[in-house]
Structure 1
């Protein structure tokens, strides 16, 4: 049997925190969102106490058309949660989304006390919803949990013992193509209509329905990572209804899905090198001792992955999963989203190198894909793939992915090929369900803030630059740092700019990096 290689990593643009979805109806109030008439806007939000979450939070359900081209046709449910403003002088609602795709805006509300400043929480009702297909809203289900485990943890046997995803050979190509075809076929079998109406353009229309039901004439919104695409798409469709949009850790909407996957690899490469350097600067780094270079540390990490591909690490959870190369890599990728998780991955790598124990890496990967329980795990992965494939075109020729994997290996040897192959399901997505390509300019919208972090792992800084330049009224605020997204990540200047924009609609100079801003203020 040839050397086994890891499975692909679907493009995951997790935002400010790792938030999982839940099954439809779980933790949602009984009774839903009131009567629904022919027009989705002619309903009322019936707020009830949430079964879990922060004290004082309120939950409701409303309905929207499955297909906006058939507004009188089938309806789907959208679950929403709000945390009322703590102050008396309330501006309105601040709608929020943590990213994903597949992240739960409903759950994101429970993170408001540390994700948003006290001043923002005093002035806004913080409102989050699960986008269509996600969590407590009408969910998209493709594979079951066991099949998802196999999909994410697959090792593909390359011809002549190929040891990486950049060179699978005919046998490996056939296996990875079959797995991705089966994924799309399962979506088609379980939810043929929802999979054709799950793209971000529809999510933006759902958000406008919610804005109206909340009684806000204009939208105030904070979106992280993939959530930036929801906000940009909203501004494109409803520019006259924009009050203030903060798009933090931006996605470039002009790129096709394969390009997004390959360019994301550069972000993870940058983040990996920062993590390894930080690790090597500590006395207990499992990747090397004093005098070890970053390249040598990365080589040690690659050796660990290769060894896990040959002989899986142990797993003390008892769930029967092998901690092979695919699952070991997922664990490291999960930790690269934020510096807060660097100590966790150092400990997990220490367990792996010294004890052969991969449990820590396995659990970090589980957190990335929302494997808190069976229902959460299967839905978040389906939504992730479906939205990615619906939002932008992708090549239909499998060879294009093989070529991209080889190219990505040049820029990001560790994660590049895995991310390139992660877009392969989109090669088989129904053509009629894919949004047309193009930039978003949101002509006529009031100023829109884009926040970019220079060494962002999941959304490269160049994407924030691109989105800010595409939007007619876009302006860029730069955080010089590591980790994914910029607001409330330890930079007081960025936090101040975001707060002043949301509260007072203050617009700093375009492209103002916070280091320049502080120097100017001091002068």
Structure 2
């Protein structure tokens, strides 16, 4: 049950599933796409608090970190080098202990003069930036960009190779992902709450000292240490999905050190958790409507034939989910798992991140709805959770909750508050709203109090920052890109009129050429430029 706040971008088909972003019904951050089904879209007020920049001078207590030398070694992946960087566990008390962060790079290939380092982050939160670099960015970014930049990634604190948070073992995670997130009575509500508490207790027991220090602000400060260690005067960065929040936070803290920043699939940092969750729910509603309108025109659509409305197709899918709630179906799994309502919902949501997955989703739904074979939807769900064939999970979902729950106060304080909000969530998405509302309860039981609050990011004094929004993005609704670009003093909004999560490298020559020109020549696109 964890729908990540913002997934990652959908590039490397391998494991970075629609990634940076999928996850079960759950983690805590969504929002109200202005185009979608009824969520409100009031603008950020200039009176709202703004993230304050840090002093330009590096504190003497941090000098050892900023002056460290990295010892690069072979990664075991051809062309890539790895190193370990130290950062203070607590920036307020740097003398009290370090955290070790994993870093990787692929050096500029030439020809042409090297520009510097290009740091990449695929989102999540919880996505491995090093995995993204090695699987996609370091080999799939445009050749001209890879020729002129050292491609660099650091796994944020608590993620993957950087002292990962671990909460449940494989069998426990299997049980957790099957928990009913649309409780029908008091007993099922208690079961859901118990699952959230068990998950939170597992995280707290595993990393009691680390959990209070995995915030986005701290991860952004780690990036500034890395910038200095790499020898760059300014940070050049491409962040997708949650990575946009991380990049914008960096710009807000260090506006004079912000170089060429691309924020693709942007988040709005000014929204509280409940509003984020509601707006993201509406974003998935928009994405499903787009899928359904395409599906009913295809011969193999199990949700209805030509002439079926998107609303009716959604009703048919919701009816299927309801049947699974009482009668899960087999998946041919050696571990004896069955496709439950929650797992099926996660599988469908996973395919919303990339329209290229729509044929796979139609086939999976056909098998499940007509043949009672849930293997296809289970495969999509497993990819979203990063569950391997041996039953083990990456730490994506653990880190996702850890960061989300420290960055913002919880969306709800009790199940009663969720019930009161259900009509709004179901209006935002009749198909996914109920489950996503209950998924927003997970941070309520977190063992560490949130240290962050909603805030605007203005980054006064920063160079032009390119903010990219996709009009029918499921995980980061387009309104968020408009909001972030409007908050940033130097924001330039670049719009992709299309489907799927994020835009760079997804087939739009217009988007790619605009971003490449910015990265290679420093020429930012005109504010408001639109592409299709």
Cross-structure match for 1:24 = none
User: What count of residue pairs does the alignment treat as equivalent?
Assistant: 483
Match for residue 367 of structure 1 among 383, 392, 417 = 383
Q: How far apart, CA to CA, are the structure 2 residues paired with 1:268 and 1:16? A: 15
Cross-structure match for 2:166 = 141
Whether 1:81 and 2:117 are equivalent positions in the alignment is no
Does 265-274 or 387-396 show the bigger shift? 387-396
Cross-structure match for 1:15 = 9
Q: How far apart, CA to CA, are the structure 1 residues paired with 2:421 and 2:487? A: 26
Q: Deviations over 1:366-388 (max 9, x none)?
A: 11111126796251111001111
Aligned CA distance change for structure 1 residues 444 and 69 (closer, same or farther; 3 Å): same
Cross-structure match for 2:317 = 301
* 1:354 Cα deviation after fit: 2.6
Cross-structure match for 2:356 = 340
Whether 1:92 and 2:121 are equivalent positions in the alignment is no
Match for residue 238 of structure 1 among 254, 279, 284 = 254
Match for residue 62 of structure 1 among 72, 81, 85 = 85
Q: How far apart, CA to CA, are the structure 1 residues paired with 2:419 and 2:234? A: 45
* 1:393 Cα deviation after fit: 2.0
Q: How far apart, CA to CA, are the structure 1 residues paired with 2:259 and 2:63? A: 28
Cross-structure match for 2:407 = 391
Cross-structure match for 1:426 = 443
Cross-structure match for 2:456 = 439
Give the TM-score of the pair, scaled to structure 1.
Answer: 0.88
Contact 2:422 2:433 survives alignment (8 Å): yes
Q: How far apart, CA to CA, are the structure 1 residues paired with 2:301 and 2:434? A: 26
Q: How far apart, CA to CA, are the structure 1 residues paired with 2:81 and 2:394? A: 27
- Correspondences of 1:358-507 after superposition (within 5 Å): 358-372=374-388, 377=393, 379-395=395-411, 397-398=413-414, 399-430=416-447, 432-507=449-524
Aligned CA distance change for structure 1 residues 253 and 367 (closer, same or farther; 3 Å): same
Aligned CA distance change for structure 1 residues 318 and 51 (closer, same or farther; 3 Å): same
Aligned CA distance change for structure 1 residues 514 and 38 (closer, same or farther; 3 Å): closer
Q: How far apart, CA to CA, are the structure 2 residues paired with 1:406 and 1:175? A: 22
* 1:10 Cα deviation after fit: 4.7
Q: How far apart, CA to CA, are the structure 1 residues paired with 2:390 and 2:225? A: 31
Q: How far apart, CA to CA, are the structure 2 residues paired with 1:495 and 1:191? A: 40
Structure scoring higher RCO (CA < 8 A, sep ≥ 6) equals 2
Cross-structure match for 2:531 = 514
Q: Deviations over 1:137-165 (max 9, x none)?
A: 11111222222222221126xxxxxxx45
Give SS of 2:339's match.
coil
Q: Deviations over 1:152-193 (max 9, x none)?
A: 21126xxxxxxx45xx44333322222222222222222111
Contact 1:39 1:72 survives alignment (8 Å): no
Q: Deviations over 1:453-500 (max 9, x none)?
A: 000011000011111111111110000000000111111111111111
Q: How large is the RMSD of aligned CA atoms in angstroms?
A: 2.0
Contact 2:5 2:124 survives alignment (8 Å): no
Q: How far apart, CA to CA, are the structure 2 residues paired with 1:138 and 1:113? A: 23
Give SS of 2:65's match.
coil
Ranges in structure 2 where 5+ consecutive residues have no aligned partner: 20-61
Contact 1:11 1:419 survives alignment (8 Å): no
Q: How far apart, CA to CA, are the structure 1 residues paired with 2:133 and 2:89? A: 25
Give SS of 2:506's match.
coil
Contact 1:15 1:227 survives alignment (8 Å): no
Whether 1:116 and 2:133 are equivalent positions in the alignment is no
* 1:442 Cα deviation after fit: 1.1
Contact 2:204 2:447 survives alignment (8 Å): no
Contact 2:4 2:124 survives alignment (8 Å): no
Aligned CA distance change for structure 1 residues 41 and 265 (closer, same or farther; 3 Å): same
Give SS of 1:59's match.
strand
Ranges in structure 1 where 5+ consecutive residues have no aligned partner: 1-6, 22-36, 157-163, 516-523
Q: How far apart, CA to CA, are the structure 2 residues paired with 1:117 and 1:450? A: 19
Cross-structure match for 1:310 = 326
Give the TM-score of the pair, scaled to structure 2.
Answer: 0.87
Q: Deviations over 1:50-75 (max 9, x none)?
A: 113xx311111111111111212221
